[in-house]
Structure 1
Amino acid sequence: MAANLKELVQRYKADPESVYNTWFIDNEARMKAFRSIRRGVTEVIEAIKAGTFGNDFKGSPLEFVLTCITEQKQVFEGAAHPFYWKPKLRIPDIYENEENKAAFGRFLESCLSCSTADRIIREILTLDDCRIKGLGPAVANILYFLHPTHMPPFNTAMLNGFNTLFADKKPLGSWTAYLEMREAIIHANEELQPALSKDLGAISGLLFDVGVGKIALAGNFQTALEFDRAKLEKALKKRHDDVRKAQEEENSHLEMQFTLTRMGRDLGYDVWVAANDRTRSLAGISLQSLTLPELPLLEMASETLKTVSLIDVIWINRLSRQIECAFEIEKSTSIYSGMLRLLDLASSLGDRKYDFFLVAPDNREKEILAQLQRPAFRNLGSVAFRYLLFSDVSCNCEAMGRFGDDWRVLLKVARGE
């Protein structure tokens, strides 16, 4: 099977609309999600311990975690559905049953601190032994974002792809079946020489594309599924529309980065843009040509510094070399994760209070207001969060850059605080 698998992988990697190219490779939203989900899982654990988790999915900290996952629309669009509270079936039974809720919290806490796959598998088996109704391997999607090199994600399409590729009949809701799938996935990945990636999201994306019929099997593969042509064409059209929408969102994000970069320069600041965006260009001009080659020296842990380096735009005083202002542009990704990056930056800069800005489309204003009400972002001594809507920035950027004295000109159009 190895030769056929390699040929399948080559087609997967060559397709510009495959999961590999639209979600796995060089996807800022995917990379941002890891830290947000880890932080969200911590909140779930703390809420369960404190007795504030609630008795419904809606409004619980678990809803935030699954929102971050389902924002990865190419692969995880329906990932939240298994966690919705279904009152008639009383599943998943982690909302009303306090013992089950506590067991779920212990499971997440143990997995969060695990460093080996064997330990995670033991925790899965312990959770499975609890026989919590409705709580099956959909949880693996959370585990993937905690341990991407140990645990593959899991959904119906991936299961269908696995059964097609391996001529198997694994059932949907079984942890035992998931663990058997995991072993086969890891073995197949290692057989590729070199593997698609140590991150199991890459080969899981291949299973997804096979499972929805995006990639048809050929050669000696025996196809276990027959795809309805109309259904397949509908799936391919949706993938094409998703890719186009993602490109439009990416372009809008880049345009706003350029706008804020130019405004900062007009106001007399040096500008830093996110390290993974520096080489991007608009109308033949690269962000790299307008911005600093590196951040000023900041005393912070290397992991925190890496997070801060991904902040979309930072304005820096040319004389003092101090950070004056920072912006996170949230076109479609999690508002919460952007706020965390700004908070990390503020907490590393000393006692002074900083004014940082979320920049978002007008239709996301309600989401911003909801996040600003979270307990984690109230009464922060180190940072004042305000937000700017795309329309306000676009309509006023030229005037603010020309007539403003410093970053405070933004307060004329900013909202919040």
Structure 2
Amino acid sequence: MPTDSLTNLINEYKQSSDLTYHSWFLHNEDRLKAFRSIRRGVLQVISDIKDGSFPNDFKGSSLEFVLTCITEQKQVFEGASHPFYWKPKLRIPDIYENQDHKRYFGQFLESCLKATKPETVIAEIRRLDSYQIKGLGPAVASILYFLHPTWMPPFNTAIINGYNRLFNERRKLGSWSEYLAIREKLITVNNEYRQLLSNDLGAFAGLLFEIGAGNLLVPGIGEQPEGEREKVQKQLSKRHKEVISDQQEEQTHSEMQHHLLTIGRALGYDVAVARNDLSRQYNGHAFSFVSLPSLPALPVAPETAQTIALIDVVWLEKGTGRLVCAFEVEKSTSIYSGILRLTDLTCSLPDHATTLYLVVPDSRRKEVEMQLTRPSIRQTNTPIRYVLMSELRTHCDALCRFGDDHRVLEKIARTV
């Protein structure tokens, strides 16, 4: 399409608060947190394949954990896990029962994880493709994006539909060669419009997703079918409701962080909010006024320190800087990634007697209990407790008034 038309389309995409540029790419903190969680999850998949503990089914596997972290992103990645479900009758994808194929997949993930240039990843894609593993195609690109977001675009039906509409092509979904051809063009066009989009290919992928989902109309591509604009308006209305719901969740998330910061200070601890939440506030109370500006130096690798700095709320002993409690506030989608950050913390700082908590919506109690009973979670030295949002809200003042130390939380915390 003409350059000026694409510029206008990108601007329309960026200006609508209901589309993924704002609701997912630009203003979604969970997206940023997911990169580290997914990277560590991929390491676990590789380890499980190496030591022979990777199961013969998707359910309960470390791969399910990774794909659930991805699908928690909603919108662009909705349905990303479906291609990895084990379909016994079709024997696809053949990475569960075929041991050679399982090993090839693990080696592919390890090489891509360690890659320092895009050419390495492309070579590994071609190698994986040469093995002709039934049912294992470019759906893996959803994982690759979170390993190398400036090199590899995500790939799904809506994105390829948007690509074909935008560039008037007929690319197909299930072929690595098609994916690589699409990737090459996306990078070329993205470089041309870098000032409008981003070095992170997620911004461009979000544009294609919206076009493919019918939320953005591409000008100059023939006549629109009868009723197309009405359909778009209905979809945008639905998306608007979803965005409003997400905003309400963010408000609740900030409320819970505020309660945790308030209780921690009342009990005599230093408190720290997630690094990327310092600018937030709740009901006129700015987090930056009560939180430490940053966590004290911790004896962990820099990458792990970055993950710990993203934990929603941390309590520390005054003077020593030792971690006392760590809290992840979960919303209606993200549970896996929060659990992963907490287990990352306790594994990295075994000398800190840190108590771990999830703060969860009441409606997700059963799901949280199910996830906390996973063997991989139970293996950690420190159990994870959970607190219902309604109880934290109701008992905040009492905990501040009558508590002596962090153990007062045992009054409302639950275990599995």
Q: TM-score, normalised by structure 2?
A: 0.93
The whole-number CA distance in structure 2 between the counterparts of 1:26 and 1:227 is: 35
* Aligned amino acid, residue 335 of structure 1: I
The whole-number CA distance in structure 2 between the counterparts of 1:227 and 1:265 is: 61
The whole-number CA distance in structure 1 between the counterparts of 2:20 and 2:332 is: 18
Secondary structure of 1:325 counterpart = strand
Residue 9 of structure 1, CA deviation:
1.2
Residue 245 of structure 1, CA deviation:
1.8
Secondary structure of 1:395 counterpart = helix
Residue in structure 2 matched with residue 238 of structure 1 by the alignment: 238
Ranges of 4+ aligned residues in structure 1 off by more than 4 Å = 223-228, 347-350
Residue in structure 2 matched with residue 22 of structure 1 by the alignment: 23
* Aligned amino acid, residue 309 of structure 2: S
Secondary structure of 1:364 counterpart = helix
Secondary structure of 1:357 counterpart = strand
Listed one character per residue, the Cα deviations across residues 283-316 of structure 1 (whole Å, up to 9, x for unaligned) are 2221112222232333333222222111111123
Change (3 A) 1:400 1:85: same
Listed one character per residue, the Cα deviations across residues 325-377 of structure 1 (whole Å, up to 9, x for unaligned) are 22111123543332333344445556242212111112323333333333443
Residue in structure 2 matched with residue 397 of structure 1 by the alignment: 396
Residue in structure 2 matched with residue 128 of structure 1 by the alignment: 129
Alignment of 1:375-394 (within 5 A): 375-378=375-378, 380-381=380-381, 383-394=382-393
Residue 234 of structure 1, CA deviation:
4.1
Change (3 A) 1:72 1:412: same
Gaps of 5+ in 2: none
* C-alpha contact 2:322 2:352 (8 A) present in aligned 1: no
Secondary structure of 1:338 counterpart = helix
* 1:269 and 2:299 correspond: no
* C-alpha contact 1:13 1:21 (8 A) present in aligned 2: yes
Mean CA deviation greater in 6-15 or 92-101: 92-101
* Aligned amino acid, residue 366 of structure 2: K
Residue in structure 1 matched with residue 371 of structure 2 by the alignment: 371
* C-alpha contact 1:315 1:323 (8 A) present in aligned 2: yes
Change (3 A) 1:395 1:216: same
Alignment of 1:196-345 (within 5 A): 196-218=197-219, 221-222=220-221, 229=228, 231-345=231-345
* Aligned amino acid, residue 112 of structure 1: L
* C-alpha contact 1:163 1:224 (8 A) present in aligned 2: no
Identity, in percent, stands at: 54
The whole-number CA distance in structure 2 between the counterparts of 1:102 and 1:8 is: 44
* C-alpha contact 1:171 1:177 (8 A) present in aligned 2: yes
Change (3 A) 1:228 1:415: same
* C-alpha contact 2:42 2:63 (8 A) present in aligned 1: yes
Residue in structure 2 matched with residue 408 of structure 1 by the alignment: 407
* 1:61 and 2:62 correspond: yes
The whole-number CA distance in structure 2 between the counterparts of 1:178 and 1:157 is: 14
Secondary structure of 1:359 counterpart = strand
The whole-number CA distance in structure 1 between the counterparts of 2:224 and 2:102 is: 37
The whole-number CA distance in structure 1 between the counterparts of 2:404 and 2:110 is: 49
* Aligned amino acid, residue 21 of structure 2: Y
Secondary structure of 2:366 counterpart = helix
Aligned Cα root-mean-square deviation (Å): 2.2
Residue 193 of structure 1, CA deviation:
4.6
Residue 217 of structure 1, CA deviation:
1.8
* Aligned amino acid, residue 262 of structure 2: R
Residue in structure 2 matched with residue 40 of structure 1 by the alignment: 41
Residue 388 of structure 1, CA deviation:
1.4
* Aligned amino acid, residue 126 of structure 1: R
